[in-house]
Structure 1
Amino acid sequence: MKPTPIALALLLAPLSVRAAEPFEAFLTKHCVRCHGAEKEKGTLRVDQLSRDFKAGMDAQRWGEVVEKINSGEMPPKNEPKPTQDEIAAFVSAIDTRIKEGRAARMAARPAVAHYRLSRKEYQNTVYDLLGVRYDPTKPGELNEDTRWHGFERIGSELSLSPSHVDRYYRAAGLVLDRAFPTAAGEARKVRKTAAELRYNGGKDQQAALDRFGITRPLRHLLYPGNVHHALSPNWFGKTGPEHSGLYKLRLQASGIRPRGGQPAHLSIGKRTGEETVDGLVEFDVTAPEDKPQVFEFEVFLEMPASLDFCVVATDVVDRRAGAAFRNALNSGSYVFTHSSETRLLTPNAPQMFDDKGNGLFSTVILDWIEWEGPIVTAAEKALRKDLLPPEDATPEVVAAHLKRFAERAWRRPVKTEELTGFLNAVAAERKAGEKIADAFRVALAGVLTSRHFIYLVEGSPAVRDRLNESELASRLSYFLWSSMPDAGLLAAAAGGTLKGDGLKREVDRLLSDSKGDRFIDDFTRQWLQLHRVGMFPPDQKLYPNYDAWLETSLRSEPVEYVREMFSKNLPIDQLLDSDWTTANARLCDFYGLPEPKSGGFQRVPLKPEHHRGGLLTMGAVLGLTSDGTRHRPVHRGVWVSEVIFGKTPPPPPANVSAIEPNPPESPKATLRQKIEAHRNNVNCAACHAKIDPLGIAWDNYDAVGQWRTREKVAKGTGEDPLLDPSGVLPDGRPFKDSVQFKRLLLDDRDKFLHAFVEHLCTYALRRVLTVDDREAVSAIVEEAKKGKAGLKDVVRIVALSDLVGKR
């Protein structure tokens, strides 16, 4: 029997071609029907994917194909299933090709990579370099960073435009002005009591107290809608803060909370409206009248500054309004020491207190206030010590000074010839008659606007697979500190000890340093996409209790939660579920939790009836996936897919109609019911089956994250419908509510750990991971699974990993 032409061609073909035949046969049998010329699902055409794995154009897509097949997602349920042997052979064939092409793909990368500092990293770096406080987010300062799925440090996203360059020059000038001010202000302390804050030092009020025989001191009331100047000349006169700089603010205060109302909240900052302040300092005042609390803060003030006190609260009793009410409370005839002093309850007093002395409003009682500054800390002085050369410095001394500064600023050894242009500029300035300090500033500005400062530079024309020790020091410090390496880390790099046990010692030191708080702040904010909190302000008519301080508190909750986990090295499972959270007084009021005994965030125990636990039930997470009027299950599902499982669903197809509001003449329907009708569209069904269950589980939480059992539907007939948070995961496992859903997530803890490690590596490496990183990520995951997978342990394993040490 003669062989067919195709069989004859295969027999005569090279071995590599014959080996490829089962690979192509699998695609033809199981994939091309849905991902070929006739049909193109999910924008994937397997027939058009490049088979050249060395060039790497489609290696990432092939990796995604393997993942879909391994997970059982492809082929879909309604298509013939391949046998396990077929799957094993196909997956092995692609894995082999990916691995064989890896070396060629890695060699094709550019020899040098540049990663621009984010705004936050720039801010931290200039502080650690010069001890200068600079806010790059203020209007007119550095351009906003472009984000990739929440991460604002991805090198490919952080381009450099002409406007960037101009702003970097202005930023460098401002930073140097603050580092070397022409007229430094002498630190002074100004303290005023509540009596002294009154006109004429409160003498008239004190006389009234004397007549009644009251020995309690005079106190100052701050009530909602009453805005006072925190730096008023009437308070401080010419002895108040005069020069820009760091100031300590101390005050003693207590709070009055109405029955069923919110805790008193004080905001100190710039007034943006009659009762709103853009706060530099904000805090809840929960201390009772008899036990006032001393609060202390550090704030950077740019003079001349205008700061205001504003008490913010949404009260249960309608607030009196009008000039007569406010003038009466601010007049010299109004005297206050304590709400129990009924002899002082003048006709105006019942508008603040009832006949039993109970407060009607959330009110702050101020006893005294104190400003001290401007302050330059010992650490800040040390950073600037001997930075400027002496007036009679020789060119060699100037070069030595600049070299020391450049090595710290550029985070690596620097050759003198790299500084030739800057030194020539200093010489030219000196020749023109400038003082050495002014001339040297030109060179400092040049160093601060160099690409070696603005960028993390990795690699060299002589291609290296691994980072050198200076580059590794910077990668570690910007991973764990969001800033430059300190002297100890640079010394370890210069001494060649940043390896083995030396590397472990340095990573442990970085993790235990207070600068590690920056990692908690920045990674948590970016990973969870917290920049989206408040992007769609909740409708005040629908959510009247939502205010600016609640939003700030909601945004802080997950960060403080992760900080608690990191400090205690708690298992990362508790990111998904726990019997505790971190909350301040405002959040406890919002969630219905026991109020904390003191101000600020602290650990609060949870019970099942609180319906909280883990990141997924926090108001910030639930709110950032809402639109300000209603919850959005699909967006919540996408967030869970991206953040918890590390999988970004494809975008919706074009021209898909939006979900319309409930018609007035129709029975009220839940958003879930409308989404299920929407899923009847064949173009939507496949993706929604994977996304919707991840979001529907949280339907009991409204647009701002509060618990409810019925969905409030504005229009339609009948009563508001009961919510149904039950569902079925794509793998067939059912759940009845968010509690069972979280249990299923914990059953998938290995998948979550893998995704969490990927997020950490993306943050650390400043780039999107590729198929070539998968083995290294899996190695990190396996190492983490050997222990208890505590949060700090996982971060440490990533920092010590081979992946972080490679280019």
Structure 2
Amino acid sequence: MNTKTAFPLVCLFLLVAAERLHADDPYSPVQPFLNRYCVACHGATKQKGEVRLDDFAQIDGALWSDLYDQIHDASMPPEDARQPSSNERASIAQLVLQISRDEAFSIPTGYRRLNRREFRNTVRDLLGLKPGIYDPAGRVFKDEVDHGFDTNADELVISNELLLEYLESAEHSLRMALFLTDLQPPVTKVVAFKPGKLQSGDRRFTTNKKHSTVLRGSGQYSASESPRGVAISGYYRITVHAAGVDRNHYGNMKFPPVSGPIKMGIGTRLDSEGKQSTSNLAKSFDLLDDQFEVYSTVVWLEKGAYPWVGFLNGAGKPASSIRQAIRQRKVDPKEISPENYNGPGVEVTRFSLEGPLDPQWPPPTYRTIFQTDEMPDFEKAEVRAQLMQRFLTRAFRRPATDQDVRDYLDYLDQQYQRTSDWQEAFIKTFAAAMASHDFLYIKEEIGQLPPLELASRLSYFLWSTMPDAELFQLARSGRLLDADVYSAQVERMLGDPRTDEFVHGFATQWLSLDLLGTMPPDIKDRRYSAYHKQNYETAFRNETLHFFRHVLFENQPVGDFLDSDYSIINDTLANVYNLPFDGGSEFQRVSLPKASLRGGLLGHGSILALTSNGVETLPVTRGHWILDELLGTPPPAPPEEVPALVPDLNGVDTPRDQLVRHRRDPACFECHKRMDPLGLALENFDVIGRYRAAYETGATIDPAGQIFGTKFQNVTELRKLLRTQQDPFAKSLIIKLAEYAKGRRLNRRDLEIVDQVAAKSKQDEHRFQSMLRHLLASELLLHR
């Protein structure tokens, strides 16, 4: 029986239902029906998919909902099992539907912890920190979410250790924002670092001269003198005077770059105590050979960050190349050695940092945190109370109560008694507030969401962060509940760049893009060397995110995810996919040739790579991915007594033959007859998504199969069949969007509203942004 493993819920209706079944009530026919058609596979001695149906007391609300779907859609019993009559099926489905509806009363009050993404974004917005190389969540463990999205309240548990990490992260972030040691306006200065003393990790590839440094290795070179990090956050101008040198130093023995310009990079780096340093490339430049020019860029530097300069396209391992050339007697070891490498490089004769540029007073972070255009006078008690009330209101995403303010003012006074420093006391106090449940948790009451809770629901769904000032003010006034005002806010927020957080947060998890790169091909395997050298992984991920973004913001039908006559690619992907392309590294929408293999998500390298293991393709995994992530109809977990599918090629030429053998086990047949045709249809794509007509053994690949009772010959025909399922696919997508937004699994009453949203969406051809608007205007998003 195709249903998800049930999980326990505290459901009052179950007790009521159990009592009724012992009496003569309308629900009495349900158990005999289950005994007749289901218990043989889901009873005391056998539980396919870990589902048991012989005892009402063990059937929870989620399973009742799944039971209705199975009975109503005639998905159960299996085709080869005894079948109920259509009348019997219809009457029992109505009874199960009535039971599953009562599940709505079991919804608990919403109480969900911010996930790591939301914590990072909320801290930045609360403190006015810019998205730079500093990560406010860098000290927080990654969320361990096994089921659903990272917004799932049941998965977002907390511990004492995690709470301490939040406290440490909050305090460190506040120190990054409140960085002034004395409350004096900053002054723009120019710091010229000594150009002859730049250093990186490997000195073998560095030539330090009296007035310059030649960068020959791939490291990030920075000043050796201290302090090199800035004391005040702000925008800074990094200036470098440089040229490409020594390209032909070794005559006929060439080192990269053999052709094309020598590329120099300018970037920023931030060292963290006890943590890994973080670094960003700000800009790259093509240098002239032996002709010095001035290159500069303006960047945002957080407190403690410093600039670096690097040689971007030099030899990755020149020492290894030299040793190999010596062994092959191509060069004289007296003329060249690994310890004295003088190949192509970037020579820097000036390296300076100017800033902060256009300094503001108070600094922007102070303005954001204290909500004032003047540096506050911490000595005045009434000022401290105002500052506390403003900060707590923004941090808690609701008006701070008088008790909130008194409690935190008491703590502020305690901290001042310890430090005699009001700024330090505020840092400690605000950090405590940011580690409290009022900050870390999103709270929702059952029923229609009040305006403040609705504002948070909307903001965390679309932006993964706290409501901004406009949304918060409309919520405080109550005007957000006005349908026209709410609709206008939805339009404003959809048009805001912060919606990119929704694109990354939802798409990455829905399509399992977070698994991409967990099992890459062996870097030493020459068959897949281009995957690593050309950075296919990044290109694959970006293609899928660009495609998702295009379907959403261009308001295309969601069926484009199943099949499309276009894709969003760059030159790297055009090479992988063997497609005509006139563009460069920037992603562009391109029309695909007729009968192309690449339309829709099934042609994306990201999907094909993440459903492989880096060594071989996995048809079962690919088929399961299509059923689960794409169609929203996952097969049940295999029974415990069924061993895992392992390669057994005795008398077997292809994966298709192996799967035919595996399906001979009756316990495997039901699921594999659905998964295998889908996965085998993708066998023309190797582990990194390249097309192939045959296996390395020489056996021809047969992608043909059957789905929905219709045969297909290849993946192009499969995609067309999947496109005919746009209606159920749209419903599945609405469910996933709602569960991502609500932070819980939907119940039967929710699914009835899903049907209403899907019906409205169908009138718009299931265009993605229109669908999203219908969802946002429905009770699914307006209610708990």
Q: Aligned partners of 2:283 and 2:218: how far apart in 1? A: 16
Residue 543 of structure 1 corresponds to 528
Contact 1:576–1:742 under 8 Å retained in 2: yes
Alignment of 1:207-606 (within 5 A): 226-232=217-223, 242-243=230-231, 245=233, 280-281=280-281, 298=299, 303=304, 307=308, 309=310, 311=312, 320-322=321-323, 380=365, 382-384=367-369, 386=371, 390-391=376-377, 393-431=379-417, 434-459=420-445, 464-499=446-481, 500-540=483-523, 541=525, 542-547=527-532, 549-595=535-581, 597-606=583-592
Give the 5 Å matches for 1:25-174: 25-37=32-44, 39-50=46-57, 58-99=60-101, 101-102=102-103, 105-106=104-105, 108-110=106-108, 112-132=109-129, 134-136=134-136, 138=138, 141-149=139-147, 151-174=149-172
For residue 179 of structure 2, what is the aligned residue in structure 1? 181
Closer/same/farther in 2, CA of residues 14 and 445 from structure 1, 3 Å limit: closer
The whole-number CA distance in structure 2 between the counterparts of 1:294 and 1:610 is 45
Deviation at 1:46, TM superposition (A): 2.3
- Residue 567 of structure 2 contacts residue 589 of structure 2 at CA under 8 Å; is this kept in 1? yes
Given that 1:119 and 1:136 are in contact with CA atoms closer than 8 Å, whether structure 2 keeps it comes out as no
SS in 2 for 1:501: helix
The aligned amino acid for 1:515 is R
Deviation at 1:410, TM superposition (A): 0.7
> Would you say 1:704 and 2:726 are equivalent positions?
no
Q: Which amino acid in the other structure matches residue 547 of structure 1?
A: H
Task: Tell me the alpha carbon deviations over residues 105-141 of structure 1, each in whole angstroms, 9 at most, x when there is no partner.
Answer: 52x544x431111111111111111112541554xx1
Separation in structure 1 between the aligned mates of residue 74 and residue 24 of structure 2, nearest angstrom:
28
In the TM superposition, residue 281 of structure 1 has moved relative to its aligned partner by: 3.3
2:657 corresponds to which residue? 673
User: Which residue type is aligned with residue 762 of structure 2?
Assistant: K
CA drift of 1:479 comes to: 0.3
Q: Contact 1:391–1:435 (CA<8 Å) still a contact in 2?
A: no
- Checking the alignment, whether the CA contact within 8 Å between 1:582 and 1:602 is kept in structure 2 is yes
Give 1:587 shift. Answer: 2.8
Which segment drifts farther, 503-512 or 177-186? Answer: 177-186
The reply on whether 1:612 has 2:598 as its aligned counterpart is yes
Instruction: Decide whether the 8 Å contact of 1:195 with 1:201 is kept in 2.
Output: yes
Distance 2:397 2:698 in 1: 62
- 5+ residue gaps, structure 2: 1-19, 199-205, 248-254, 271-276, 327-334, 336-340
Partner SS for 1:546: helix
Structure 1, residues 200-252: CA drift from partner, whole Å, max 9, x if none?
A: 999999xxxxxxxxxxxxxx998xxx41534355xxx7897644756667999
Match of 1:626 in 2: 612
Which secondary structure state, in structure 1, belongs to the residue aligned with residue 442 of structure 2?
strand
Mapped to 1, the partners of 2:399 and 2:522 lie a distance apart of: 55
TM-score (norm 1): 0.77
Q: Which amino acid aligns with 1:126?
A: V
- Rounded to whole Å, the distance in 2 between the matches of 1:701 and 1:397 is 66
Separation in 2 of the partners of 1:747 and 1:260? Answer: 51
Deviation at 1:402, TM superposition (A): 0.6
Q: CA deviation at 1:314?
A: 11
Give how far 1:304 is off. 6.3
**1-side partners of 2:532 and 2:377: how far apart?**
56
The 1-side partners of 2:681 and 2:264 are apart by 34
Q: How much has 1:447 moved relative to structure 2?
A: 1.7
Say whether the 8 Å CA contact 1:187–1:372 is kept in structure 2.
yes
Letter in 1 for 2:478: G
Match of 1:309, as an amino acid?
G
User: Using the alignment, how far apart are the partners of 1:609 and 1:191 within structure 2?
Assistant: 60
**Could you say if the C-alpha distance between residues 144 and 229 of structure 1 is closer, same or farther in structure 2, counting changes exceeding 3 Å?**
closer
Mean CA deviation greater in 760-769 or 557-566: 557-566
Larger displacement relative to structure 2 (161-170 or 561-570): 561-570
Once the two structures are superposed, what CA deviation does each residue of 1:405-463 show, in whole Å capped at 9, x if it has no partner?
1111111111111222211122334456723323333322222121111111223xxxx
Match of 1:654 among 640, 643, 646: 640
How far the C-alpha of 1:765 sits from its partner, in A, is 0.5
**Contact kept? 1:479, 1:763, Cα under 8 Å:** yes
**Residues 286, 598 of structure 1: 8 Å contact kept:** no
Could you tell me which of 759, 767, 778 is aligned with 2:755?
Answer: 778
- C-alpha distance in 2, partners of 1:65/1:682? 23
Partner of 2:332: none
Could you say what secondary structure the match of 2:531 adopts? coil
For 2:518, the aligned partner's letter is: M
Higher relative contact order (CA 8 A, sep 6+): 2
> Partners in 2 of 1:84 and 1:285 — Cα distance?
72
Give the distance between the partners of 2:410 and 2:117, measured in 1 at CA.
32
Counterpart AA for 1:723:
I
Long gaps (5+) in structure 1: 1-12, 52-56, 206-219, 272-276, 326-332, 334-347, 353-362, 713-718
Distance 1:364 1:92 in 2: 76
Give yes or no for the alignment of 1:723 onto 2:706. no
- Deviation of 1:507 after TM superposition, in Å, equals 1.1
**Is the contact between residue 686 and residue 692 of structure 2 (CA under 8 Å) also seen in structure 1?**
yes
Larger displacement relative to structure 2 (86-95 or 433-442): 433-442
> Is contact 2:64–2:99 with CA below 8 Å preserved after alignment?
no
Percent identity, please: 29
Q: Which residue of 1 aligns with 2:671?
A: 687
Partners in 2 of 1:600 and 1:287 — Cα distance? Answer: 22
Q: Is the 8 A contact 1:697 1:726 kept in 2?
A: yes
Where 1:419 maps in the other structure, the secondary structure is: helix
Q: How far 1:752 sits from its partner (Å)?
A: 0.7
Deviates more, 1:510-519 or 1:553-562: 553-562
Pairs aligned (count):
713
User: Secondary structure at 2:54's aligned position in 1?
Assistant: helix
CA contact (8 A) 1:588 1:595 kept: yes
Within 2, Cα distance between the matches of 1:632 and 1:293? Answer: 52
Q: 1:653 to 1:221 in 2, by over 3 A?
A: same
- Cα distance in 1 for partners of 2:622, 2:125 equals 39
TM-score, length of structure 2 as denominator length? 0.79
Q: Distance in 1 between matches of 2:576 and 2:119?
A: 36
| 1:715 paired residue number | none
Report how far residue 619 of structure 1 moved.
Answer: 1.3
Give SS of 1:768's match: coil
- Do the aligned partners of residues 177 and 766 (structure 1) sit closer, same or farther apart at CA in structure 2, a change above 3 Å counting? same
State whether residues 389 and 401 of structure 1, in contact with CA within 8 Å, keep that contact through their aligned partners in structure 2: no
| Alpha-carbon separation, structure 2, partners of 1:270 and 1:431 | 36
Conserved? CA contact 2:604–2:689, under 8 Å: yes
